[in-house]
Chain A
């Protein structure tokens, strides 16, 4: 019986593991690119077939050209994109950190949860974009307003992720830490937080999408820079090529952020969905 255990193979390094991984990566890459390629083809087809004037909706070639010049030649698009990224990222980090802290705290203390619960419900009921003009009024025409709105708007998903994740820590693990006389902080850092990691990162993924929305909306009404400003400004000037180019770049920004978070999730929460040896 005990001997049977010792017959298990130790983990072997698979030959050609690297080749395997690279070809998997390329295949995945192609799989992800295919729908976008199809989209571009359909886009091109529609614009040609329906003979849509470029001032109304430009075709992919024009937009591609504009992106190229905007990023690599004149670099004017780069500036706005970078501005949007900075504000979004800063607000995202701020909002997420606060959300995780508050969510964890409320999950661990039921009395505090009941006390703060009305505030959370109220915050959730208000569509955050409606607060944008107020934030602008209070904080003025600079990055602080954008960062604040972004933080407010991406707060909730991360909050829920942290709350649900920490609350779902198995009671037996909490008991274990209690029998080991671990302090509340140690229990949180070594037990509850890792347990909540998957839920938190899922909340962050949703939050990143929200964050971009908040940033764009603030840039719409602030009118001072960033991808949102660019889209609004160029659309008003009927420079739809630039507007669509900015939209595409925003999409890329959203996609990259989501991808990074996915990758982080896979590496951090590695234990979900694993294979088992049987005794």
Chain B
């Protein structure tokens, strides 16, 4: 099967390109000949021009800003608090035993389910989106940080104590560094989660934002605008994921070194 398939270098570029071209061709074909209702399925060109017009108009920035503030703002708060709490709990044995299992037990519930409640508490504006994202990312970051602290290799800790560091010194310089891999993996999950939660919040109740725009466009049966909004969201999410991934590789550089 795969062990005797040798792929020459040029094919590694040509095949994906063909695949991409086939994808667009299929899309175009479907839109033009099968559905042929641009309100339901626009062609790639129509989406492109819709996107261009939208960005050039004044109606784009308010929504973009709302979503970016909601997700990144919430991410900063939630992941930041989650990390700090995680370090503290990971370090204090009593809290670790009591709180960590609780967090793990709560994981089973999909965090989007609390969105309507958050909106009741925080209202329709930006605050509820940030709060929702903050709660979701806090949770993930907390669990990952504690798990990371658990994973610090015992030899490193023994070494640290042997060199006479006091307890918090040991925690900060050794445990935290060792847990960074988990922390950044958690951050990658949080990055995706932040957009998901923000968009869902905007679906439910909002005054602006890409999710709000998306929902509004669906009421107008304007698939072009919906596609445009989805593309912008995909671009944002990918950009954030890339940034976090790069940061992960730079900070936890020892994992990616090839010896």
A220-B115, A231-B116 given; A114·B105 CB < 8 A: no
Say yes or no: B2 contacts A108, CB within 8 Å.
yes
Q: How far is the CA of A179 from the CA of B22 in the complex (A)?
A: 37
Q: How far is the CA of A138 from the CA of B101 in the complex (A)?
A: 42
Say yes or no: A221 contacts B120, CB within 8 Å.
no
Nearest B residue to A131 via CB reads B230
B119 contacts the other chain (Cβ, under 8 Å)? yes
Q: How far is the CA of A35 from the CA of B108 in the complex (A)?
A: 13
Q: Which residues of B contact A64 (CB under 8 A)?
A: none
A129 contacts the other chain (Cβ, under 8 Å)? yes
A50 to chain B, nearest CB (A): 14
Question: Which of A69-77, A244-252, A263-271 is found at the contact surface with chain B?
Answer: A244-252
Q: What are 14 contact pairs spanning A and B, CB under 8 A? A: A110-B2, A115-B15, A115-B19, A122-B234, A125-B234, A130-B199, A213-B196, A216-B112, A232-B204, A235-B116, A235-B117, A247-B113, A250-B109, A258-B108
> SS class of chain A's interface: helix, strand, loop or mixed?
helix
> SS class of chain B's interface: helix, strand, loop or mixed?
helix
Question: Which of A10-18, A93-101, A167-175 is found at the contact surface with chain B?
Answer: A167-175
Say yes or no: B108 contacts A251, CB within 8 Å.
yes
Q: Which residues of A contact B105 (CB under 8 A)?
A: 32, 35-36, 39, 255
0/1 interface trace, chain A 8-41, chain B, CB 8 Å (1 if under)? 0000000000000000000000001011101100
Partner of A228, one of B113, B121, B237: B113
Say yes or no: B215 contacts A133, CB within 8 Å.
yes
B18 contacts the other chain (Cβ, under 8 Å)? yes
A251 to chain B, nearest CB (A): 3
0/1 interface trace, chain B 9-33, chain A, CB 8 Å (1 if under)? 0011001101110110000000000
Given contacts A110-B2, A137-B218, 14 further A-B contacts (CB under 8 A): A107-B2, A108-B1, A114-B12, A116-B19, A118-B19, A126-B237, A127-B195, A129-B203, A133-B203, A167-B2, A220-B115, A228-B113, A232-B204, A247-B113
Q: How far is the CA of A221 from the CA of B19 in the complex (A)?
A: 34
Q: Which residues of A contact B12 (CB under 8 A)?
A: 114
A243 contacts the other chain (Cβ, under 8 Å)? yes
B192 contacts the other chain (Cβ, under 8 Å)? yes
8 Å CB contacts to A: which residues of B210-229?
A: 210-211, 214-215, 217-218, 221, 223, 226-227, 229
Most chain B CB within 10 A, of A109, A133, A221, A247, is at A133
Query: How many residues of chain B get a CB closer than 8 Å to chain A's CBs?
Result: 58
Q: How far is the CA of A116 from the CA of B227 in the complex (A)?
A: 22
A158 contacts the other chain (Cβ, under 8 Å)? no
Contacts from A to B (Cβ < 8 Å): 32, 34-36, 38-39, 42, 56, 107-111, 114-119, 122, 125-127, 129-134, 136-138, 167, 169, 171, 174-175, 184, 187, 192, 209, 212-213, 216-217, 220-221, 227-228, 231-232, 235-236, 238, 240, 243-244, 246-248, 250-252, 254-255, 258
A51 to chain B, nearest CB (A): 16
A170 to chain B, nearest CB (A): 10
Nearest B residue to A213 via CB reads B110
Q: Which residues of B contact A134 (CB under 8 A)?
A: 218, 223, 226-227, 230
Say yes or no: B116 contacts A232, CB within 8 Å.
yes
